Amino acid sequence: MWYFGGMCGRYTAVKNFDQLAKKAGAFMRGVLYVPRYNIAPTQLAPVIFQDGRQPAVKLMRWGLIPCWAKDESSDGILVNARVETLANRAAFRESFKRRRCLVPADGFYEWKEREGQRQPFRVVLRSGEPFCFAGLWDRWIRPSASEHAVASQAGAPSGETIESFTIITRAANAAVAHLHNRMPVILAPEQFTSWLAGDGPPATGQRAALEHPLDEPLKIYPVSNLVNRPKAEDPRCLEPVRIERDLFEPPWWEEE
Protein backbone atom coordinates (compact mmCIF):
# COMPACT_ATOMS: atom_id res chain seq x y z
CA MET A 1 0.00 0.00 0.00
CA TRP A 2 1.27 3.44 -0.91
CA TYR A 3 0.29 6.48 1.13
CA PHE A 4 0.14 9.71 -0.87
CA GLY A 5 -0.22 12.76 1.39
CA GLY A 6 -1.86 14.73 -1.38
CA MET A 7 0.09 13.99 -4.55
CA CYS A 8 3.50 13.64 -6.19
CA GLY A 9 3.72 9.95 -6.92
CA ARG A 10 6.25 10.21 -9.76
CA TYR A 11 8.99 12.72 -10.61
CA THR A 12 12.04 13.34 -12.81
CA ALA A 13 15.68 14.19 -12.12
CA VAL A 14 17.22 14.36 -15.57
CA LYS A 15 19.44 17.42 -15.23
CA ASN A 16 22.72 17.34 -13.34
CA PHE A 17 22.06 18.73 -9.86
CA ASP A 18 25.71 19.25 -8.90
CA GLN A 19 25.20 23.01 -8.55
CA LEU A 20 22.16 22.49 -6.33
CA ALA A 21 24.21 20.20 -4.09
CA LYS A 22 26.97 22.81 -3.86
CA LYS A 23 24.45 25.50 -2.89
CA ALA A 24 23.45 23.22 -0.01
CA GLY A 25 27.11 22.81 0.94
CA ALA A 26 27.25 19.18 -0.24
CA PHE A 27 29.44 17.55 -2.86
CA MET A 28 28.75 14.55 -5.08
CA ARG A 29 31.21 12.19 -3.43
CA GLY A 30 30.50 8.55 -4.19
CA VAL A 31 27.19 9.23 -5.97
CA LEU A 32 27.25 8.87 -9.74
CA TYR A 33 24.89 11.23 -11.55
CA VAL A 34 22.44 9.24 -13.67
CA PRO A 35 19.51 10.92 -15.51
CA ARG A 36 16.16 9.68 -14.17
CA TYR A 37 13.06 10.06 -16.32
CA ASN A 38 10.39 8.38 -14.19
CA ILE A 39 11.24 7.96 -10.51
CA ALA A 40 8.62 5.85 -8.74
CA PRO A 41 7.94 4.86 -5.10
CA THR A 42 10.27 2.19 -3.60
CA GLN A 43 13.02 3.11 -6.08
CA LEU A 44 16.37 4.57 -5.01
CA ALA A 45 16.92 8.26 -5.72
CA PRO A 46 19.50 10.88 -4.65
CA VAL A 47 18.83 12.89 -1.50
CA ILE A 48 20.79 15.73 0.12
CA PHE A 49 20.82 15.38 3.91
CA GLN A 50 22.75 16.56 6.94
CA ASP A 51 25.38 13.90 7.68
CA GLY A 52 26.73 15.08 11.03
CA ARG A 53 28.07 18.57 10.43
CA GLN A 54 28.39 18.23 6.65
CA PRO A 55 25.58 17.99 4.09
CA ALA A 56 26.00 14.93 1.87
CA VAL A 57 24.37 13.27 -1.13
CA LYS A 58 23.18 9.69 -0.83
CA LEU A 59 20.81 7.30 -2.56
CA MET A 60 17.75 6.52 -0.43
CA ARG A 61 14.52 4.64 -1.04
CA TRP A 62 11.45 6.71 -1.86
CA GLY A 63 8.74 5.90 0.68
CA LEU A 64 9.47 6.70 4.32
CA ILE A 65 9.74 3.85 6.82
CA PRO A 66 9.69 5.33 10.35
CA CYS A 67 12.54 4.08 12.54
CA TRP A 68 10.04 2.55 15.00
CA ALA A 69 8.06 0.59 12.38
CA LYS A 70 7.77 -3.18 13.00
CA ASP A 71 8.13 -3.87 9.27
CA GLU A 72 8.27 -2.02 5.96
CA SER A 73 4.50 -1.94 5.48
CA SER A 74 3.17 -1.29 8.98
CA ASP A 75 1.84 2.15 7.97
CA GLY A 76 1.94 1.87 4.22
CA ILE A 77 4.71 3.39 2.12
CA LEU A 78 4.80 7.05 3.06
CA VAL A 79 5.57 8.58 -0.33
CA ASN A 80 4.29 12.05 0.65
CA ALA A 81 3.91 14.00 3.89
CA ARG A 82 1.29 16.73 4.14
CA VAL A 83 2.85 19.92 5.48
CA GLU A 84 -0.11 20.31 7.83
CA THR A 85 0.71 17.04 9.63
CA LEU A 86 4.50 17.24 10.01
CA ALA A 87 4.56 18.37 13.62
CA ASN A 88 1.83 16.03 14.86
CA ARG A 89 1.79 12.77 12.92
CA ALA A 90 3.96 10.13 14.61
CA ALA A 91 5.48 8.94 11.32
CA PHE A 92 6.85 12.42 10.54
CA ARG A 93 7.29 14.21 13.86
CA GLU A 94 10.87 13.16 14.72
CA SER A 95 12.09 13.40 11.14
CA PHE A 96 10.68 16.91 10.91
CA LYS A 97 12.68 17.80 14.00
CA ARG A 98 15.98 16.13 13.12
CA ARG A 99 16.06 14.54 9.68
CA ARG A 100 15.05 17.02 7.00
CA CYS A 101 16.39 16.59 3.48
CA LEU A 102 16.39 18.01 -0.04
CA VAL A 103 15.19 15.90 -2.97
CA PRO A 104 16.77 17.02 -6.28
CA ALA A 105 14.35 17.06 -9.22
CA ASP A 106 13.49 18.95 -12.38
CA GLY A 107 9.83 18.05 -12.77
CA PHE A 108 6.97 15.94 -11.49
CA TYR A 109 4.06 14.10 -13.06
CA GLU A 110 0.40 14.31 -12.22
CA TRP A 111 -2.66 12.74 -13.80
CA LYS A 112 -5.99 14.31 -14.73
CA GLU A 113 -9.06 12.18 -15.29
CA ARG A 114 -12.14 13.07 -17.26
CA GLU A 115 -14.74 10.93 -19.02
CA GLY A 116 -12.81 7.77 -18.25
CA GLN A 117 -9.51 9.04 -19.63
CA ARG A 118 -6.50 9.47 -17.35
CA GLN A 119 -3.97 11.78 -18.97
CA PRO A 120 -0.48 12.33 -17.48
CA PHE A 121 1.05 15.81 -17.37
CA ARG A 122 4.53 16.99 -16.46
CA VAL A 123 5.13 20.09 -14.33
CA VAL A 124 8.47 21.94 -14.58
CA LEU A 125 9.86 25.38 -13.81
CA ARG A 126 9.40 27.65 -16.79
CA SER A 127 13.10 28.47 -16.52
CA GLY A 128 13.90 24.80 -17.10
CA GLU A 129 16.25 24.74 -14.11
CA PRO A 130 16.48 21.84 -11.65
CA PHE A 131 15.23 22.39 -8.10
CA CYS A 132 14.78 20.63 -4.76
CA PHE A 133 11.67 19.35 -3.04
CA ALA A 134 11.51 19.66 0.74
CA GLY A 135 11.69 16.18 2.23
CA LEU A 136 12.16 14.11 5.37
CA TRP A 137 14.24 10.98 5.80
CA ASP A 138 14.64 8.19 8.33
CA ARG A 139 16.77 5.13 9.02
CA TRP A 140 15.04 1.81 9.73
CA ILE A 141 16.77 -1.34 10.98
CA ARG A 142 15.06 -4.64 10.33
CA PRO A 143 14.29 -6.35 13.68
CA SER A 144 15.37 -9.89 14.34
CA ALA A 145 12.83 -12.69 13.87
CA SER A 146 12.69 -13.15 17.63
CA GLU A 147 11.65 -9.52 18.02
CA HIS A 148 9.03 -9.67 15.32
CA ALA A 149 8.15 -12.87 13.51
CA VAL A 150 6.91 -11.11 10.39
CA ALA A 151 10.29 -9.49 9.88
CA SER A 152 11.80 -12.61 8.33
CA GLN A 153 9.00 -13.21 5.82
CA ALA A 154 10.49 -10.92 3.17
CA GLY A 155 13.67 -12.99 3.21
CA ALA A 156 15.98 -10.10 4.14
CA PRO A 157 18.34 -10.60 7.08
CA SER A 158 17.71 -8.99 10.45
CA GLY A 159 19.89 -5.96 11.02
CA GLU A 160 19.43 -4.75 7.44
CA THR A 161 19.30 -0.94 7.34
CA ILE A 162 17.04 0.96 4.96
CA GLU A 163 17.33 4.72 4.60
CA SER A 164 14.20 6.18 3.08
CA PHE A 165 12.58 9.55 2.37
CA THR A 166 9.27 11.25 1.74
CA ILE A 167 8.36 14.40 -0.20
CA ILE A 168 6.42 17.15 1.57
CA THR A 169 3.26 18.45 -0.12
CA ARG A 170 1.20 21.61 0.29
CA ALA A 171 -1.96 23.14 -1.13
CA ALA A 172 -1.61 23.66 -4.87
CA ASN A 173 -0.91 27.09 -6.32
CA ALA A 174 -3.09 28.55 -9.06
CA ALA A 175 -1.21 26.81 -11.88
CA VAL A 176 -1.22 23.29 -10.43
CA ALA A 177 -4.77 23.56 -9.07
CA HIS A 178 -6.04 22.64 -12.55
CA LEU A 179 -4.40 19.24 -12.06
CA HIS A 180 -4.72 18.56 -8.34
CA ASN A 181 -5.43 20.33 -5.07
CA ARG A 182 -1.94 19.47 -3.73
CA MET A 183 1.63 19.95 -4.97
CA PRO A 184 5.13 19.24 -3.64
CA VAL A 185 6.94 21.93 -1.66
CA ILE A 186 9.72 23.35 -3.85
CA LEU A 187 12.41 25.21 -1.90
CA ALA A 188 14.37 28.23 -3.09
CA PRO A 189 18.18 27.76 -3.17
CA GLU A 190 18.63 30.35 -0.41
CA GLN A 191 16.50 28.12 1.86
CA PHE A 192 18.62 24.98 1.42
CA THR A 193 21.07 25.42 4.30
CA SER A 194 18.47 26.59 6.82
CA TRP A 195 16.18 23.68 5.91
CA LEU A 196 18.92 21.13 6.54
CA ALA A 197 20.47 22.74 9.61
CA GLY A 198 19.69 22.02 13.23
CA ASP A 199 19.01 19.00 15.39
CA GLY A 200 15.98 20.00 17.39
CA PRO A 201 12.52 21.51 17.05
CA PRO A 202 12.15 23.27 13.68
CA ALA A 203 13.16 26.90 13.98
CA THR A 204 12.03 30.01 12.14
CA GLY A 205 14.09 29.18 9.04
CA GLN A 206 12.52 25.80 8.47
CA ARG A 207 8.98 27.00 9.08
CA ALA A 208 9.55 30.01 6.79
CA ALA A 209 10.69 27.66 4.01
CA LEU A 210 7.41 25.76 4.23
CA GLU A 211 5.29 28.89 4.46
CA HIS A 212 7.11 30.70 1.64
CA PRO A 213 8.32 28.10 -0.88
CA LEU A 214 9.78 28.86 -4.29
CA ASP A 215 7.15 30.67 -6.35
CA GLU A 216 8.59 30.75 -9.86
CA PRO A 217 6.37 30.38 -12.95
CA LEU A 218 5.57 26.80 -13.88
CA LYS A 219 5.05 25.09 -17.20
CA ILE A 220 2.58 22.19 -17.55
CA TYR A 221 2.32 19.98 -20.61
CA PRO A 222 0.81 16.57 -21.49
CA VAL A 223 3.09 13.55 -21.87
CA SER A 224 2.80 9.96 -23.05
CA ASN A 225 1.07 7.19 -21.11
CA LEU A 226 4.50 5.58 -21.02
CA VAL A 227 4.99 7.19 -17.60
CA ASN A 228 2.20 5.00 -16.23
CA ARG A 229 4.72 2.15 -16.09
CA PRO A 230 7.03 2.56 -13.07
CA LYS A 231 9.83 0.70 -14.84
CA ALA A 232 9.67 2.93 -17.92
CA GLU A 233 13.00 4.74 -17.43
CA ASP A 234 12.96 6.31 -20.88
CA PRO A 235 13.64 9.82 -22.31
CA ARG A 236 10.37 9.53 -24.18
CA CYS A 237 8.58 10.03 -20.84
CA LEU A 238 9.52 13.73 -21.09
CA GLU A 239 8.33 14.31 -24.62
CA PRO A 240 5.17 16.42 -25.02
CA VAL A 241 2.19 14.90 -26.80
CA ARG A 242 -0.83 16.49 -28.39
CA ILE A 243 -4.23 15.80 -26.85
CA GLU A 244 -7.72 16.94 -27.68
CA ARG A 245 -8.02 20.47 -26.35
CA ASP A 246 -11.68 19.93 -25.53
CA LEU A 247 -10.81 16.99 -23.28
CA PHE A 248 -10.26 19.41 -20.41
CA GLU A 249 -11.90 22.81 -20.54
CA PRO A 250 -10.76 25.49 -20.46
CA PRO A 251 -7.35 24.39 -21.84
CA TRP A 252 -4.78 25.33 -19.19
CA TRP A 253 -1.70 23.45 -20.40
CA GLU A 254 0.86 24.33 -23.03
CA GLU A 255 1.39 22.76 -26.41
CA GLU A 256 4.85 22.54 -27.90
CB 236 within 8 A of CB 228: no
Instruction: List phi, psi (to 5°) of 68.
Output: -95, 0
CB 72 within 8 A of CB 155: no
Q: What share of the chain is helix, strand, coil (3-state, %, to 5)?
A: 20, 35, 45
CB 185 within 8 A of CB 127: no
Instruction: Tell me which of 8, 101, 132, 237 is the catalytic residue.
Output: 8
For the chain, the first-to-last Cα distance in angstroms comes to 36
CB 158 within 8 A of CB 140: no
Query: What does DSSP say about strands 80-82 and 161-171: parallel, antiparallel, or unpaired?
Result: parallel
- Name the residue among 45, 11, 41 with its Cα closest to residue 120: 11
* Burial profile 118-141: b = 16 or more Cβ within 10 angstroms, e = fewer: ebbbbbbbeeeebbbbbbbbbebe
| 110 classed as catalytic | yes
Instruction: Tell me which of 72, 101, 110, 132 is the catalytic residue.
Output: 110
| 132 classed as catalytic | no
Report, as residue numbers or ranges, the catalytic residues: 8, 110
